[in-house]
Amino acid sequence: MKDLGELKFFLGIDFSRSSRGILMTQKKYALELISESGLGGAKPAYTPLEMNQKLTSVKYDEHADNTGAKCDDLLKNPAEYQRLSHMEAALRVVRYIKEVPGSGLLMPAKQTTQLTAYCDSDWGACVETRRSVIGYLVKFGDALVSWKIQEARNSVKRFS
């Protein structure tokens, strides 16, 4: 084995150390994404999604929307869609990233033993299946350890 010195860049993640801790960012990837999506001159978005925006599948839209509302156009370059799904929402997220492309996760230097977990659910929030959407976030001190948002898979059983 060979000692390569202090970690600076690994698997597309930039690592920078300070007295506050270790900051992990993907600024290079964020700037490439902004450039490749053609949003270099676009105004940044201040939130990643619009308030109460619901994303659905094409199959759901075909069955649910008989009003002749605006249809999604087929993409000329399928690789774009494979990299970013739900293009309109994804482009808004890219515009949000454009606001601060160097933001990242800070692993604080101060010692802690405090584990904090938050969870929330939204009953029947999925417009396609009417299942609940559940999310959680776990922090160790001030550092984010884990988070997830998912549709509930099991239905609630009622006993009478």
Return the SS3 of 60. Answer: helix
Low-confidence ranges of the chain (pLDDT < 50): 155-160
pLDDT confidence of residue 64: 67
Domain ranges of the chain: 1-109, 110-160
Which of 100-119 are b and which e, b meaning 16 or more Cβ less than 10 Å from the residue's Cβ?
A: ebeebebbeeeeeeeeeeee
H helical segments located in 49-150: 58-64, 78-83, 87-99
CB 48 within 8 A of CB 93: yes
pLDDT confidence of residue 74: 65
CB 26 within 8 A of CB 32: no
Q: How far is CA 95 from CA 46, 47, 102, 146, in A?
A: 8, 9, 13, 25
pLDDT confidence of residue 117: 92
pLDDT confidence of residue 158: 45
Task: Read off the pTM.
Answer: 0.62
Tokens for 43?
A: 């105004």
Q: pLDDT tens-digit profile of 89-100?
A: 888 888 888 888
